[in-house]
Structure 1
Amino acid sequence: MKLLNIALLLALGSAGAQALADDSHSTTAANQPPVETYTYGTRLDIKRVIEVSEIANECGPVPARMTYEDSRGQRRTVEYQVMGTGCSNG
């Protein structure tokens, strides 16, 4: 659960920015890791965060993605739900 909280805080805190983005533009879709869907209880082995997607400007839960490197050096992508940035309190 702590890892989910860390991932959500990282995603919300870095909206609009890419953390340590990979400059390689020659990567094809075939070389991309499959996207795993986060569910409660999923164990994440995060050594280094590579990229976090922007959070949609909607009011309600929206999908977000985080690409990271695990302790074995493998690149992984996980998709999870976060609260959109379009809600107002007034």
Structure 2
Amino acid sequence: MNTKAIYAACLFAALNICTLSARAESNVPAQTYTYGTHLDIQKVLSLSEDAQPTCGVVNAHMTYLDSTGHKQALNYRKLSDNCSNQN
């Protein structure tokens, strides 16, 4: 019975450590894109944009991994996805 409690406590501690490191990594400060900004993008993790029902310029956010494997975030402006069906 004691060994089960010890195993459970160790597992709980290990899961907490993993969760804390994941939370620390997800709070990466976002860089704002300007013309000429050098981007080192190895893999895009997520893309999102402000919701807008019409075609126009919106704020967008990209989370990505750089060539060293570090998580980075970028804020930028783009045409809304709603513009794709208009000429």
Q: TM-score, normalised by structure 2?
A: 0.60
Identity %: 42
Q: Using a 3 Å threshold, how does the CA distance of structure 1 residues 28 and 40 change in structure 2: closer, same or farther?
A: same
Partner of 1:77: 73
Equivalenced residues, count: 66
C-alpha RMSD of matched pairs (Å): 2.9
2:41 equivalent to 1:41? no
**Among residues 50, 56, 75, which one is paired with 2:51 in the alignment?**
56
If you compute each CA radius of gyration, which structure gives the higher value, 1 or 2?
2
The C-alpha deviation readout for 1:1-44, integer Å capped at 9, x for no partner, is xxxxxxxxxxxxxxxxxxxxxxx8x9547841001100000000
Structure 1 stretches of 4+ moved >6 Å: none
- Secondary structure of the 2:39 match is coil
- Equivalent position SS for 1:67: strand
Question: Offset of 1:77 from its aligned partner?
Answer: 0.5
Structure 1 residue runs of 5 or longer lacking an equivalent are 1-23
Q: One-letter code of the match for 1:80? A: Y
Partner-residue secondary structure (3-state), 2:31: strand
SS of residue matched to 1:53? strand
Cα distance in 1, alignment partners of residues 36 and 74 from structure 2: 14
Cα deviation for residue 74 of structure 1 reads 0.8
Give yes or no for contact 1:56–1:85 (8 Å, CA) kept in 2: no
Higher RCO by CA contacts (8 Å cutoff, separation 6 or greater): 1
Write 1 or 2 for the structure with the bigger share of helix: 2
